[in-house]
Amino acid sequence: MNKLYDIGLVGLSVMGRSLALNMADHGFRVAGYNRSPEVTDRVLREHPHENLSGFYSLEALVSALERPRKVFLMIQAGPAVDAVLEQLLPLLERGDVVMDGGNSYFEDTNRRAETLAEAGIHYFGVGVSGGEEGARRGPSVMPGGPREAYGAVRPILEAVAARAEDDKPCCAYIGPGGAGHYVKMVHNGIEYADMQLIAEAYLLLKYAGGFTNRELAETFAAWDRGELHSYLIGITADIFTRQDDLATGDLIDHILDSAGQKGTGRWTSIESLRQGVDVSMITAACSARVMSNHLERRARAGGRIAAVPVTGVDNKSAFAETVRQALYTGKIIAYAQGFSLLADASGRFGWGLNLGEIASIFRAGCIIQAAFLGDITAAYRADPALESLLLAPFFLDRVNERQEHLRRAAAAAVLGGIPAPALTNAAAYLDGFRARACGANLIQAQRDCFGAHTYERADRPGSFHYDWRKTP
């Protein structure tokens, strides 16, 4: 009898190929399949591995798998997943397990999980973060699905996941249905906010501080040696050192100032509005990418809306320190927003998310991996019912110590005409979060005045309507 395979991997593009090889490295026998057969051929030619074999139909792939069969999809999110599931379903039998490792929308995962459960097939939405390198060497893995079937896939998922500094795998069962994909979505939303904060720090240092690319590289490298140590700060420092390979000068200065987005950040923002949780920094980061795309309009408006003179800085290193502290404070607020959204989803969808464990699996492997995630993990371990990260003693102290820097950096951007929506929203969130007065009394009065929407009072319960037409 031919040998049977431990897992089937469908989709051998960047992520699927890397994960397949990662699984193979860990001793799992992997059967790989890709819709376009030439991709399968190329992977086998360029990355030969004794534990990886290629298959050219889903039928052949499924029949080569050990029972209960485990199939891992790593394909484009959206209709492609439904198309492949439709083909797979007749080939599978009760007790088999299908995992979707792509960036699928969590409600699609809920729907697919229900459909497959009717056929007795266990369906997992598995968030995977870390890009190509992470998938190859150890990503952060967020599996959501039926708990009773998790034991069947846990050994593979934990083996391929990154290891944090305490050697724990960056993989943990998240919750039922689409919980894993929801957490991945919010991870990406936080990723957007973090990247936007870093981009704003760059703009401030460059345009207000007059930093050269070499100074930017040195500054970010120094930051990466301290409390801001993270994958994103590390790659940022490196980016500023790169020479262009197609023209003269630094690569960064030849890259178009316009960023795209595939959708997970936008989904986080949309979901936050549905749930009624403020993730203004994530929304601001999505909008900043949208605004960046209007290159022609920016050029036209640049000549018509009067420019604000940027005042230089007297002391570059003091300014860099203000920007660093502002970035750190903004980061606390962005993560507080993201984790508040997770906390709300946990109750709303009955998922019972373990926020401390989620923070702990973000410590390594994923795009937002950072020393800082260890502090978030500790904050939730100390108080699993924490209302907001902002109220955890560790972060509260730091926000109180540093908020002045956040305000100074945001003010420098506003006064200098530098777009900094993440920093300014961070300051606004902080002020809204602890506001003695929000102005919502006036909004209530306006609503009652124009639409008889009634208003609530501070001195007694109930809802009231005032006759606004009467003479005061």
Ligand X SMILES: O=C(CO)[C@H](O)[C@H](O)COP(=O)(O)O
Ligand Y SMILES: NC(=O)C1=CN([C@@H]2O[C@H](COP(=O)(O)OP(=O)(O)OC[C@H]3O[C@@H](n4cnc5c(N)ncnc54)[C@H](OP(=O)(O)O)[C@@H]3O)[C@@H](O)[C@H]2O)C=CC1
Positions marked active-site: 184, 191
Q: Which of helix, strand or coil describes residue 9? A: strand
State the Cα angle at 121 between 151 and 138, rounded to 5°.
45
Among 131, 146, 356, 374, binds ligand X (CB under 6 A): 131
Q: Which of 40, 110, 129, 269 touches ligand X by CB under 6 A?
A: 129
Q: Which stretch binds ligand X (CB under 6 A): 259-267, 272-280, 349-357, 386-394?
A: 259-267
188 binds, options ligand Y, ligand X, none, Cβ within 5 to 8 A by partner type: ligand X
Question: In whole angstroms, how far apart are CA 35 and each of 42, 50, 235, 333?
Answer: 13, 22, 33, 43
As a whole number of angstroms, the distance between CA 224 and CA 157 comes to: 29
One of 68, 131, 356, 374 touching ligand Y (CB under 6 A): 131
Residue 453 annotated as lining a ligand binding site: yes
Residue from 34, 40, 103, 219 binding ligand X (CB under 6 A): 103
Q: Do the beta carbons of residue 236 and residue 220 sit within 8 Å?
A: yes
Of the pair 69, 289, the CB lying nearest ligand X is at 289
Asked whether position 102 contacts ligand Y by CB under 6 A, the answer is yes
Please report whether residue 265 would count as binding ligand X according to CB under 6 A. Answer: yes
Angle between helices 106-118 and 179-203 (to 10 degrees): 160
Q: Is 76 in the site for ligand X (CB under 6 A)?
A: no
Give 358: exposed, middle or buried? Use CB within 10 Å, 0-12, 13-18, 19+: buried
Q: Which two tokens stand for residue 227?
A: 């409390």
Residues 36-75 as x/- pattern, contact with ligand Y by CB under 6 A = x--x----------------------------------xx
Asked if 219 and 238 touch (Cβ cutoff 8 Å), the reply is no
Please give the C-alpha separations between residue 158 and each of 6, 15, 141, 389, 466, in angstroms, as whole numbers: 15, 17, 8, 28, 61
- Measured from the CB atom, the residue of 289 and 407 that comes closer to ligand X is 289
Distance, CA of 277 to CA of 387 (rounded, Å): 13
Rounded to whole angstroms, the Cα distance separating 155 from 343 reads 28
The 158-187 contact track toward ligand X, x by CB under 6 A, reads: ------------------------------
Nearer to ligand Y, 78 or 417 (CB): 78
Q: Does 228 bind ligand Y (CB under 6 A)?
A: no
Q: Is 11 in the site for ligand Y (CB under 6 A)?
A: yes
DSSP 199-261: HHHHHIIIIIT---HHHHHHHHHHHHTTTT-BHHHHHHHHHTTPBPSSSSSBGGGGS-S----
Most distant pair of Cα atoms in the chain: their distance: 94
Residue 80 engages ligand Y in binding (rule: CB under 6 A): yes
Question: Is 13 annotated in some ligand binding site?
Answer: yes
Q: Which of 21, 58, 84, 392 binds ligand Y (CB under 6 A)?
A: 84
Which residues contribute to the site for ligand X (CB under 6 A)? 103, 129, 131, 188, 261-262, 264-265, 367
Which residues contribute to the site for ligand Y (CB under 6 A)? 11-16, 34-36, 39, 74-77, 80, 83-84, 102-103, 128-129, 131
